[in-house]
Structure 1
C-alpha cells in the first residue's frame, strides 16, 4: 500500500491462534515428539479459516502483510487465514483451505517472527514438557512450507533474530509483545498488518493501548484491531498513538476496568470501599 496523501492511517490486527490439540486431546502430550508445540484440531482449522473470511469481509481495509509466531498452532492458523484472505473465488460454503480452489499469492505476504512466540516460561509451558535444553527446535524452512504457496516473503529480516531465552518473566514477555507490535508497525508504516500469535499477546494488544483495563479472557482466534495516524513527509514518517477500533467483546476478548466505575446515587458516587 502506498500512501496517497501525507496523512494516512495504519491498521494492525493482533489475533490468537485456533483450538490447540492438547486442550481437546489430553493424552496427546504423553506420546508427542514435541509436547510443547501442539497442532490445531480440525475445529481449530475451521475456526481459523472462518475468522480469515470474517477479516476479509468485515474489516473495511485490506491486510497486506502477515507475521506469525513459529509455534505450529500459529503457523497452521496463519495458513488458514491467509488462504481465506487470498481466495480468488470466495465460496461462502468453504470451511477450510481444502475448499479453496486457487489463491492470489501476490495480495498478502507472510513471515515468521520469533518475537511473536509464546511466553517461554512455566506459566505458559509446563516445566515437565518444555525442552530440557531450552531449544524449541523450530525448522523455519519446514514451517514456511506449511504456508500457502507463493505467500512467504523471504526478503524480510526478523525483528527478533533468535528466540527469547527460557525462562522469561511474565512482565518481560508482556514488554516483548508490546515492543514487537510497535516494531513491526514501524517497519511497515504504509501497510496493514495481521499478527498471528498467542493469547497473552492479544491481551497485551488491548491493555497496552486501552489503558486501565485487565484482560481476563482471550478466546481461540480472538483478535483486536489497532489503528494509528501516519504522517508521511519527505520520505520519512511520524506515527501517532494506537487506538483500538474493535469492540473486544465482539471479537472474543473480555476485559474489566482496573478501577471500579462509581455508581451514582442520590447522595453522590458510591465510595470504592463500600
Structure 2
C-alpha cells in the first residue's frame, strides 16, 4: 500500500545587501563642476579595488554560493557589481590581483546579474542635492549601456524587473525606506531557491538591518559594507513557504554600525 504521507523539505535562503564602493565626488570636489551627469558619480580607483576585494571576501567567508546579483542603475553600483561578479566568477587571477582587470579566466555560469530600478538611491534632496538633480526629474539611465559593463556572459537578459521604471523624484524618506524593504522581499520571493546579492546604496543597506530587526537604528554603512540575511524555506506539496528574515550581521561587523 502506497504511503499517503507527503515529504516536507527545508532549506535556507541567503540574501546579502551591499553598499557601493568609494564614489568620485567625495574624493574630488571639482568633478561635479564639469560632470555631464553630476547626480551619478562613478567610483574612484580605490572604490573599484575595494569592490573586487569584497567579492573575493565573499568567496572566502560566505558559507553559501551567490547565484544572482541585482544592482541599482546608478553607475557607482553597476561598477561595484561588475567588480564583485568578476571576483565571484574568477577561475584564475594574477597573484596580486586588485581588480577585474587582473582576472585571467572566469566562469560566467557561476552568477547571473541584472539591473533593478527598485534598488536605486533615495530620489529626494536628502540623498541628492536639488542643484545636482536633473531639473525634469528624469535621471536618464541607459540600461543597455550599463548592462554592457558586466562581465561577458553574466547578464540575465530574460529577467522581468520588479520595478520597470525609476521611482518618482522627491519620494519621501519613509517612501524610499518602504521601497527598499519591499524590493528585498520581492526579489527573494521571486527566486526562493537561490541566494542573492543586492548592490544598492547606504540607505538600502541600512533598511536591510532596521527593516527586519525591530527597534534598530543604523548609524553608519561604510563603502562596500554589507548585511547578511537568511530565512528558512519549507517545501511541501510543490509549494514553498518562507519564514521571516533573520539579520545575521552584528553591529561593528562588515562595515555596519547600529543600535537598538
Normalised by the size of structure 1, how large is the TM-score?
A: 0.91
Pair 1:99 & 2:99 matched: no
**Which of 73, 76, 80 lines up with 2:76 in the alignment?**
73
Q: Distance in 2 between matches of 1:220 and 1:230?
A: 31
Give the match for residue 23 of structure 1.
Answer: 26
1:87 Cα shift? 0.2
Q: Distance in 2 between matches of 1:247 and 1:152?
A: 32
Q: Distance in 2 between matches of 1:92 and 1:234?
A: 49
Give the match for residue 141 of structure 1.
Answer: 144
Give the match for residue 184 of structure 2.
Answer: 181
Give the match for residue 67 of structure 2.
Answer: 64
Deviates more, 1:228-237 or 1:11-20: 228-237
Q: Distance in 1 between matches of 2:184 and 2:62?
A: 19
Q: Distance in 2 between matches of 1:39 and 1:180?
A: 24
Give every structure 1 segment of 4 or more consecutive aligned residues whose post-TM-superposition deviation is greater than 3 Å: none
Secondary structure of the corresponding residue to residue 89 of structure 1: strand
Give the match for residue 267 of structure 1.
Answer: none
Give the match for residue 241 of structure 1.
Answer: 244
Give the match for residue 3 of structure 2.
Answer: none
Normalised by the size of structure 2, how large is the TM-score?
A: 0.96
Structure 2: 5+ residue runs without aligned partners?
A: 1-7
Secondary structure of the corresponding residue to residue 102 of structure 1: strand
Q: Distance in 1 between matches of 2:62 and 2:186?
A: 22
Pair 1:38 & 2:38 matched: no
**Which of 232, 237, 261 lines up with 2:235 in the alignment?**
232
Judge conservation of contact 1:83–1:103 (CA < 8 Å) in 2. yes
Judge conservation of contact 2:93–2:104 (CA < 8 Å) in 1. no
Judge conservation of contact 2:93–2:102 (CA < 8 Å) in 1. no
Give the match for residue 269 of structure 1.
Answer: none
Give the match for residue 133 of structure 2.
Answer: 130
Q: Distance in 1 between matches of 2:246 and 2:93?
A: 30
1:244 Cα shift? 1.3
1:145 Cα shift? 0.3
Give the match for residue 220 of structure 1.
Answer: 223
Q: Deviations over 1:210-230 (max 9, x none)?
A: 111110100000000000000
Judge conservation of contact 2:94–2:104 (CA < 8 Å) in 1. no
1:174 Cα shift? 0.1
Secondary structure of the corresponding residue to residue 104 of structure 2: coil
Number of corresponding residues: 254
Q: 1:149 to 1:199 in 2, by over 3 A?
A: same
**Which of 191, 197, 202 lines up with 2:200 in the alignment?**
197
Q: Deviations over 1:17-61 (max 9, x none)?
A: 000000000010010000000000000000000000001110110
